[in-house]
Amino acid sequence: MSNPLRHLAIIMDGNGRWAKERGLRRIKGHEAGIETVRKVTEYCADHPEIETLTLYAFSTENWKRPKMEVDYLMHLLEKHIRLERERYMQHGIRFETIGNLSPFSQKLRKTLEETKALTASNRRLVQILALNYGGRDEIVRSVQRTLEAGEEINEANITRHLDTPYGDVDLMIRTSGEQRLSNFLLWQLSYAELAFTPTYWPDFSVEELENLIEQYKQRQRKFGGI
């Protein structure tokens, strides 16, 4: 029996290197990566099994990048989310975020929250953008929420107080050839299958995604058993 695939997570890596190899500014790589986000999201919305797609868009460590690049990323994100609203509605995609949004501008936070409200009733796919997100930070904040609620510190309660209540990840893909988790969904990836590809994110295709999913389907998932 093939493995079910309900939650797909992707570390979208390689935008900057894609641009550098073409003699372009790094921001051009981020712009090119937007189209890949669109294609992959639409594919997942049409997939018979996938319910949740979580994309690592901006980590807590990404603030270390040059200020000009960070500022442009914020501008690109706000513009992208506004432009995608019609597409979200057409394809039945519910938009969500995880991570600490408080450092973002009021304009960006408003755009994110308005888009969540607009798409809240969509049911074909939940697209989650991890923004100013770090797995360790999420776990710490979940423990704090558990304590504030006067609840026992156990696995069930910590899971319930995480940023995302959408369940464990089944398959995690990272593009660009890097083979590490980079503080992404550390709790939710505990028993996920991992796939790494040398393809830079702007060049990542639906066909390659299909191939990686097919490989995942053939794996034997043991969840700690024999």
pLDDT tens-place string over residues 176-197: 999 999 999 999 999 999 999 9
Predicted pLDDT at 113: 98
- For residue range 46-68, list pLDDT tens digits in order: 999 999 999 999 998 899 988 98
Q: Three-class SS string for the chain? A: CCCCCCEEEEECCCHHHHHHHCCCCHHHHHHHHHHHHHHHHHHHHHCCCCCEEEEEEEEHHHHHCCHHHHHHHHHHHHHHHHHHHHHHHHHCEEEEEECCCCCCCHHHHHHHHHHHHHHCCCCCEEEEEEEEECHHHHHHHHHHHHHHCCCCCCHHHHHHCCCCCCCCCCEEEECCCCCCCCCCCCCCCCCCEEEECCCCHHHCCHHHHHHHHHHHHHCCCCCCCC
Out of 29-33, 64-68, 220-224, pick the least confident.
Answer: 220-224
Predicted pLDDT at 225: 60
pLDDT band at 220 (very low <50, low <70, confident <90, very high): confident
Q: Which of 72-76, 156-160, 170-174 has the highest mean pLDDT?
A: 170-174
Predicted pLDDT at 221: 83
What pTM did the predictor assign? 0.95
Catalytic one of 62, 100, 157, 183: 62
User: Catalytic annotation on 62?
Assistant: yes
- For residue range 66-121, list pLDDT tens digits in order: 898 899 999 999 999 999 999 999 999 999 999 999 999 999 999 999 999 999 99
Average pLDDT for the chain:
94
* pLDDT greater at residue 1 or residue 197: 197
